[in-house]
Structure 1
Amino acid sequence: MSKKEVIIIGGGLSGIMAAKTLMDKGITDIIIIEKSRSVGGRLATRRIQNGKADHGAQFFTVRSPELQTDVEKWLQAGWIKRWFGNPYPRYTSVNGMNALAKNLAEALPIELNTKVSSIRDGRDGPLEVELDNGEKILGKQIIVTAPVPQAHTLLPEIEGTELKHITFAPCFVGMFTFDKDSIVPAPGHKDEQLPPGVERVVDHHKKGISSTVTVSVYMTGDWSKKRFDLEDDTILAEIQKVAELYLGEGNQIVDAQLKRWKYAEAEEVVRSPYVELGRNQRVMVCGDVFLREKDEAGRTRFESAYLSGISAGERVAEKLKGSSIV
């Protein structure tokens, strides 16, 4: 049984930023536990044959001074570029959005392919995180960055009634390889004048991250919700009809894949960058659904996840430095 000052559950953007904030404040006895084989969460990129496709977040915008400062650093490092957009530029990673997550997480202590089964809040002792393999990790503070419905399943003994109303819409993304150029207009992003049920279409070759022509088709939450129980092949066939609109003369689809995002976007947000739960409020839940009170955009996005992680990290650092909990 190991011990850590802070256990962070989830290696998406919020978890990464919480960890970086703690490290910057001198709290280094931490661990990020991530169930997937890579960090990033919805900063997700998939290799398809010789190409690649972003199939989660495609870009991000900047409103806060904190993110603007980091964006300047990321631009200088060559991690990101300005893709399109006015008055708010859309920034994207030059090698796929997952590459940005990996760059940000490079120096952080992370356990990949590790799934948490439960969190227990002992009366007087440390918090206890139990893993699927039966291993237990004790911690002074826990930050949970998993989507709220998943967080609830980990916290059966910890009351969090203020979060029970948070629901998420799913999103289906079809990814298609074309054998020739698509007719998606430059710079490779289209979110207007689309067929019913389609949110956006992205050409990753024109975006600059894929050597081959790969096109992602994002379906809306309502469309995806109505078809959630259908078989993958049935869903993909429907989405392919949309992709075929962008083939161009003599073009063909040579590969097709589907990504199901069960928790794509919250249908309601929390007007606080985190929520503290449990005995002595030692369990914190944060993520893109947790917005700062003066957030002007009012919706979940890359920046809300980024800011929520920073706020959570700052709060935990403050508590640990003023705490005598053993």
Structure 2
Amino acid sequence: MKKFAIIGAGLAGLACADELIASGHSVRLFDKARGPGGRMSTRRTDSASGQVSFDHGAQYFTARDPSFQSLIETWSDAGIVARWPAAGADAWVGVPTMNAPVKQLAGRHDVTWSAHIEALLKGEDGWHLKFREGALIEPFDHIILAIPAEQAADLLAPTGSEFAAIAAKTVSAPCWTLMLAYDEPLNTGKIILRDDGVIGWAARNSDKPGRMGPESWVVQAAPQWSIDHVENDQDAVAKILEDRLAELLGITLPAPLVRSAHRWRYARSGRTEFSALYSEEMQLGVCGDWLLGPRVECAWLSGTSLGKMIPT
């Protein structure tokens, strides 16, 4: 049995952990977030009309690979995912929030949240993780990185691994996301807007299965618009996106209960020729959707692929 540390407890890291534990290994996961989600994150906000939940990362996911389809059916039977026909016949969402499947997976693993790791240190006794507060005492036999390409490149660079160069050239696209909530449903029959020059996606989040609370909308800026405005002021971006939403819906928007913008610096991943990366010599592995493509399914497939690469 080998001891593994996985940096990143999103879908890729958790899928890899499932494979490693099934092979008899010991696994600990570390994530800088306060809780499960990754790009499938959900934000909860209190309002005058009650708590509002926003799926402010991935809006839905699809399943094309047979093994992932089988997992989705298991999740469906457990009531933590459901189809969302408004987004397409093959669209699925977490229930009651997008992060429900990730939360379930994380619940059966040893995960340390709010873990900000600054460096990887290789000693004679194995790998150590350097936190902001100092180094982790317990050494690990193997290190797995399941984080965005840019973050992986930074951590890998001092190790001399060729994986650092692969990660460095596989950049992610940013995305500005606006979250809006209202005390009454908006006077529109539209549920989803797509492919505008300013707004790439907007959806009535409260239309998704299992959602409770006030009327809520998630508005994601178009890819190029987000790139062009990535360093803009948060309030200015929120105003532009809100005004454009009103134009596209053809209505005057009331004053919102909640109005909050979030900048995803690493929103839409790139892709490579690899499903995952592993070095037996360095006892080092890398997985994530950025290796296969910008889809939720790709994160799970990459993590599963890496888990299968590692000898038992």
TM-score where L is the length of structure 1: 0.86
Runs of at least 5 residues in structure 2 that lack an aligned partner in the other structure: none
One-letter identity of the residue aligned with 1:166: T
Q: Aligned partners of 2:28, 2:188: CA distance in 1, in Å?
A: 42
Q: Is the 8 A contact 2:246 2:253 kept in 1?
A: no
| Cα RMSD, aligned residues only | 2.2
In structure 1, the partner of 2:308 is: 314
Match of 1:289, SS state, is helix
Segments of 4+ moved more than 6 angstroms:
none
In structure 2, the partner of 1:230 is: 232
Distance 1:191 1:184, change over 3 A: farther
Q: How many residues align?
A: 302
In structure 1, the partner of 2:256 is: 253
One-letter identity of the residue aligned with 1:14: A
Render the CA deviation track for 1:241-288: whole Å, top value 9, x for unaligned: 12334484674423200111001112x4112111235x8131111100
Q: Aligned partners of 2:78, 2:199: CA distance in 1, in Å?
A: 35
Correspondence 1:16-95 to 2 at 5 A:
16-27=14-25, 29-48=26-45, 49=47, 50-84=51-85, 89-95=90-96
Q: Percent identity?
A: 26
Q: Is the 8 A contact 2:175 2:264 kept in 1?
A: yes
Q: Aligned partners of 1:217, 1:146: CA distance in 2, in Å?
A: 25
Match of 2:38, SS state, is coil
Distance 1:86 1:224, change over 3 A: closer
Match of 1:290, SS state, is helix
In structure 2, the partner of 1:295 is: none
Asked if 1:130 corresponds to 2:130, the answer is yes
Correspondence 1:148-227 to 2 at 5 A:
148-155=149-156, 156-159=158-161, 160-183=164-187, 185=189, 188-192=191-195, 195-208=196-209, 209-227=211-229
Q: Is the 8 A contact 2:153 2:165 kept in 1?
A: no
Runs of at least 5 residues in structure 1 that lack an aligned partner in the other structure: 292-298, 322-326
Correspondence 1:110-129 to 2 at 5 A:
110-122=111-123, 124-129=124-129
Match of 2:159, SS state, is coil
Deviation at residue 31 of structure 1 after TM alignment = 0.3
Deviation at residue 139 of structure 1 after TM alignment = 1.1
Match of 1:281, SS state, is coil
Q: Aligned partners of 1:221, 1:80: CA distance in 2, in Å?
A: 27
One-letter identity of the residue aligned with 1:34: D
Distance 1:64 1:154, change over 3 A: same
Q: Aligned partners of 1:86, 1:218: CA distance in 2, in Å?
A: 15
Render the CA deviation track for 1:77-112: whole Å, top value 9, x for unaligned: 111111127985100012111222111211100011
Deviation at residue 24 of structure 1 after TM alignment = 2.1
1:301 to 281, 295, 298: 295
Deviation at residue 121 of structure 1 after TM alignment = 3.2
TM-score where L is the length of structure 2: 0.90
One-letter identity of the residue aligned with 1:84: P
Q: Aligned partners of 2:301, 2:264: CA distance in 1, in Å?
A: 22
Q: Aligned partners of 1:16, 1:184: CA distance in 2, in Å?
A: 39
Q: Aligned partners of 2:27, 2:79: CA distance in 1, in Å?
A: 28
Q: Aligned partners of 2:153, 2:238: CA distance in 1, in Å?
A: 31
Distance 1:87 1:210, change over 3 A: closer
One-letter identity of the residue aligned with 2:75: W
Match of 2:99, SS state, is helix
One-letter identity of the residue aligned with 1:161: A
Q: Aligned partners of 1:221, 1:121: CA distance in 2, in Å?
A: 38
Q: Is the 8 A contact 1:204 1:210 kept in 2?
A: no
